[in-house]
Chain A
Amino acid sequence: MQASDEDSDERATHKSDDFAEENFATAYRFAFCLSLAHDRAKRLVDTTFHDAELLRRKDARATLDKTWVLATLHRKWRACHPVRPGADRDEDPGVSNEPLISFEDAEGLDCAVVLKTLHSMDPAHRLVLSLFYFEQLGYGEIARILDLPPETALSRLARSKTLLRQLLERGRRAPSAEREDSEFTADRSG
């Protein structure tokens, strides 16, 4: 009986290791997008995978997948960064009429520039964009992970994409000296 319990524990550990290995990149990327700090991202990821292991030991049939990881990370982060009431109802004034970067110009951008722009955005915008572009998730899954009504996810995605394109175009047009030194400014009202 003891040997079989030990075997079972070992199998559970292997499964947890595989799960963490398979989902680490996704988890870390999103955790960094949430916290914008590597040490906090690491802590978020570690506690999330620890929760996954506990859940799996409690219930071997528990559904643990990428969506669970991302939703759990977001929930943990939100517990430390509560959103003011109404903020999730997209009360921001909307995007301006600034020009948008074309896809041809976007093709020429370095990924570090795009990432810096993304991380300069308000969390409400950068999280939907991270899930849409990094993880290639649809609005429904994004809504579930971020605990939003689907209509809100749709609206927010549209506004966030427009804002990203405006910021990228603004950065592209800035003189190169300014571009190297400047912090991208973005709407942080969300």
Chain B
Amino acid sequence: MDNAEIKRLLQSFRKDTQDSHDPIFREALQRLENDPALAAWFRAEQEFDAVMITTFRDVPIGLGNGASGPEPR
């Protein structure tokens, strides 16, 4: 598995989820232990994901048009 393939896989990895037990990520995660540059790249990738999740959490549902909840029955 080359670095490009490892990165391709790890860009989808979500820590603290069942991904940690998904065999598809196993080899890629193991390679991080012996490759500091790759590990640094992975940390930055995870940091970016965390920033995006926080950013998207701030988006209002109606996106400014006043859309609210479901139609009352």
Contact surface of A with B, Cβ cutoff 8 Å: 13, 16-17, 20-21, 24-25, 28-29, 32, 38, 41-42, 45-46, 49, 101-103, 106-107, 109, 111, 114-115, 132-134, 136, 138-140, 153-155, 157-158, 161-162, 165
In the complex, residue of chain A having the shortest beta-carbon distance to the beta carbon of B46: A103
The answer to whether A138 and B47 touch (CB under 8 A), given A24-B69, A133-B56, A158-B11, is no
Interface of A is mostly: helix
Contact surface of B with A, Cβ cutoff 8 Å: 7-9, 11-12, 14, 17-19, 22, 24, 44, 47-53, 55-56, 58-59, 61-63, 65, 67, 69-71, 73
How many contacts A-B (CB < 8 Å)? 85
Give the residues in chain A near B22, CB-CB below 8 Å.
138, 140
The 7 A-B pairs of least Cβ separation, nearest first, read A20-B70, A103-B47, A158-B11, A103-B48, A111-B58, A139-B12, A158-B8
Contact of A25 among B49, B58, B61, B73 (CB under 8 A): B61
